[in-house]
Amino acid sequence: MLDRPTMPPADLGKRRLPLEEISMGSVLFRVHQTKFGAKFFGRSAGWRFDSPGRAFGTLYAATSEEIAFAETLLRGQHPLVAESDLRVRSFCEFTLLRPVRLVKLHGPSMITIGASAAVSAGSYDVSQAWAQALHDHADQPDGILYRSTRDNDRVALVLFERSEAALDAGGTAPILADPVRLGRILDHYGASLI
């Protein structure tokens, strides 16, 4: 039987958060819509760990370019990517200017805060409630580290807007500008362009 995603427990604020630090100088990867720029903290309330009431912005990233690509572009049941989707997106590499502390929402530490893997793989109303509760916690984490829903061998992350100063301006380039990099990532996932 699958674990049902649950809302954050009422006493979450009294529990110590399992935090993992990503050190200063580390590189984070992002795939973004070019028109918004790389360092964009969205407030759409339309994605997994967004603030449900748009109280804070979020920026989704990853510790590898493959995960950033998969989380953004490999949606649905087929490993197909529309070239039109690539035309409007860019790769970005950020360097951390300070360490960031992320809630470790994977592994055995989840049990200490009453969470399960269903939080990051279930319905958005549950994951957004968790994002709000974790954002508002007294530990003031910079974001959340979670298993990628597209490649669960690796982790993805979401940064809360309060961590904006932790990121440099980022180096960004259109995805289609580097066909070798794109081909390597597509091959990694057995994906094709349409």
Give the span between the Cα atoms of 106 and 120, in whole angstroms. Answer: 9
pTM above 0.85, yes or no: yes
What's the pLDDT band for 123 if we cut at 50, 70, 90?
Answer: confident
Side-chain-facing half-sphere of 24: CA atoms under 13 Å: 5
- Token pair, residue 50, equals 């967004």
Residue 105 contacts residue 145 (beta carbons within 8 Å): yes
Given a cut of 60, whether residue 114 has pLDDT beyond it is: yes
Closest by alpha carbon to 9, among 154, 17, 1, 45?
Answer: 17
Give the span between the Cα atoms of 155 and 144, in whole angstroms. Answer: 10
78-106 pLDDT, tens digit per residue, is: 788 889 999 999 999 999 999 999 999 99
- Token pair, residue 142, equals 């910079």
Q: What is the pLDDT of residue 118?
A: 84
136-169 pLDDT, tens digit per residue, is: 999 999 999 999 888 888 999 999 999 999 999 9
